[in-house]
């Protein structure tokens, strides 16, 4: 083992409390894609202890896996339902998010509760506004949650947020008169952080994803400190130290040539572990209290970094992503977003679960 992923469940709990603003009943957790690569079961159980009772997954299989450990949770499946999955959803008490008239027809035969997605401007999944009331009546749907998704909530003050909210409310208000217990679900992490929300008299369920896991939910250039803490930390172990002379080429393609005598550390993580190759020659690691430049290309299993000014030894662990090399900075340097970095973390990283005090909570491979 030369790569380690530490997941701070204490920081996760902190972020959940920040985003729910003291009202856990108003915020569901998005734990699709194995909780963005951090372990859906471990994450969901930790959030259950903080009062989270509702969870969103992408696929029925994810919901089945989660149900085994959370028998009393409300679990919504974002992909909805098909003829092939309807029996599985019923057997495991999973609620589909109905996204089309065809899905409504399939689920209407079950008389089971569901969520219904309204498309308010993403042209992704969901029904058009005019289709929602008649499809509910036609198939006798038991809809407890009307769901839509902000497309630009990470852009504070963008007028498209107001347009989407207006479209959602135009559908929600008439339905609410027929079904007073109906709830609305709009806000992702960005909307939760920035305060974009429906009117106060609407019972609303937020859906937090990236913010729970320590990523900045706001768009680049609109970063604001909302008090979220890093949850994921990636460490690599030093496999070897090398002294190189001026003019020495480093790594594949000899893309770095030493300008003087240097000491290099070869660290046992690479792009197979989720360290983006685009960090080659521009990213950093953190060791001995200092930021150390990555030298040359990141390879599949290893990377080089400058160790000239740090006191390190073979076997030491260095931070690749964490408190000092932030998830969002890594994503920016890799020309992507924090979501992709987290979900791309390699399965061979040894996963360790901890809390704020660094108390060991268990491991998972």
CB 103 within 8 A of CB 115: no
Tell me: the pLDDT tens digits for 195-218? Answer: 777 888 899 999 999 999 999 888
The mean per-residue pLDDT over the stretch 88-105 comes to 98
Burial class (CB in 10 A: 0-12, 13-18, 19+), 110: middle
Give the whole-angstrom CA distance, residue 161 versus residue 149.
Answer: 10
Query: Would you call 339 a catalytic residue per the annotation?
Result: no
Angstrom distance (rounded) from CA 77 to CA 64:
10
State the chain's mean pLDDT as an integer. Answer: 93
Quick one: average pLDDT of 224-239?
Answer: 91
pLDDT in tens, 311-365: 999 999 999 999 999 999 999 999 999 999 999 999 999 999 998 644 444 444 3
User: What's the pLDDT tens digit per position in 20-58?
Assistant: 999 999 999 999 999 999 999 999 999 999 999 999 999
| H-helix segments, 127-211 | 132-139, 159-178, 189-194
State the average pLDDT over residues 135-154.
93
Domains of the chain: 9-208 (3.20.20.10), 232-364 (2.40.37.10)
**CA–CA separation, 171 and 133 (whole Å):** 8
Q: Which of 16, 32, 36, 353 is catalytic?
A: 32
pLDDT of residue 363: 40
Q: How confident is the model at residue 141 (pLDDT cuts 50, 70, 90)?
A: very high
Nearest to 122 by CA among 162, 155, 164: 164
Annotation marks residue 32 as catalytic:
yes
Give pLDDT, residue 225: 67
DSSP category for residue 301: S
Which own/partner pairs from 62-71 qualify as long-range (CB within 8 Å, at least 24 positions apart)?
Answer: 62/31, 62/32, 62/34, 63/89, 63/92, 63/94, 64/88, 64/92, 64/94, 65/40, 65/41, 66/31, 66/40, 66/41, 67/92, 67/93, 67/94, 69/41, 69/44, 69/45, 70/44, 70/45
Q: Could you tell me which residues come within 8 angstroms of residue 288 by beta carbon, excluding any fewer than 6 positions away?
A: 310, 311, 312
Question: Could you say which of 36, 76, 235, 252 is catalytic?
Answer: 252
Decide if pLDDT at 223 tops 70: no
Residue-wise pLDDT tens digits, 252-294: 999 999 999 999 999 999 999 999 999 999 999 999 999 999 9
| Number of helical (H) and strand (E) elements in the chain, helices listed first | 11, 19
Can you list the positions of beta strands (E) in the chain?
A: 3-8, 27-30, 54-57, 74-77, 95-98, 113-117, 142-147, 183-185, 206-208, 232-244, 249-250, 256-257, 262-267, 284-287, 290-295, 303-306, 317-321, 350-354, 360-364
The residue whose two tokens read 């709009």 is: 186
- Rounded to an integer, what distance in angstroms lies between the CA atom of residue 40 and that of residue 261? 46
- Residues sharing a CB contact under 8 Å with residue 200, sequence separation 6 or more, in sequence order: none
């Amino acid at each position: 083992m030369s790569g380690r992923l530490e997941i701070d469940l204490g920081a996760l709990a902190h972020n959940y409390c920040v985003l729910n603003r003291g009202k856990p009943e108003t915020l569901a957790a998005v734990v699709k894609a194995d909780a963005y690569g951090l372990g859906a079961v471990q994450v969901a159980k930790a959030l259950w202890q903080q009062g989270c009772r509702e969870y969103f997954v992408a696929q029925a299989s994810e919901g089945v896996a989660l149900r085994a450990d959370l028998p009393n949770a409300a679990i919504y499946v974002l992909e909805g339902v098909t003829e092939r999955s309807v029996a599985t959803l019923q057997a495991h008490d999973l609620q589909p998010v109905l996204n089309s008239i065809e899905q409504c027809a399939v689920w209407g035969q079950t008389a089971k509760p569901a969520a219904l997605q309204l498309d308010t401007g993403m042209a992704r999944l969901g029904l058009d506004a005019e289709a929602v009331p008649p499809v509910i009546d036609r198939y006798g749907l038991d809809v407890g949650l009307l769901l839509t998704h902000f497309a630009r909530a990470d852009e504070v003050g963008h007028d498209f947020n107001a347009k989407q909210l207006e479209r959602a409310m135009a559908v929600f208000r008439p339905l609410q008169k027929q079904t007073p217990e109906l709830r609305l679900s709009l806000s992702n992490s960005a909307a939760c952080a920035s305060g974009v929300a429906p009117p106060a008299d609407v019972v609303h369920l937020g859906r937090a994803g990236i913010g729970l896991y320590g990523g900045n939910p706001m768009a680049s250039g609109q970063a604001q400190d909302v008090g979220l803490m890093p949850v994921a930390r990636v460490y690599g172990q030093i496999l070897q130290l090398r002294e190189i002379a001026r003019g020495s080429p480093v790594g594949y393609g000899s893309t770095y040539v030493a300008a003087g005598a240097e000491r290099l550390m070869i660290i046992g993580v690479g792009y197979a572990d989720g360290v983006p190759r685009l960090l080659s020659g521009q990213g950093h690691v953190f060791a001995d209290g200092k930021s150390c430049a990555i030298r040359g290309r990141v390879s599949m299993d290893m990377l080089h970094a400058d160790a000239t000014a740090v006191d390190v030894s073979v076997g030491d662990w260095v931070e690749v992503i964490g408190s000092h090399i932030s998830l969002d900075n890594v994503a920016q340097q890799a020309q992507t977003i924090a979501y992709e970095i987290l979900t791309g973390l390699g399965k061979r990283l040894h996963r360790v679960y901890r809390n704020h005090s660094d108390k060991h909570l268990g491991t998972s491979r």
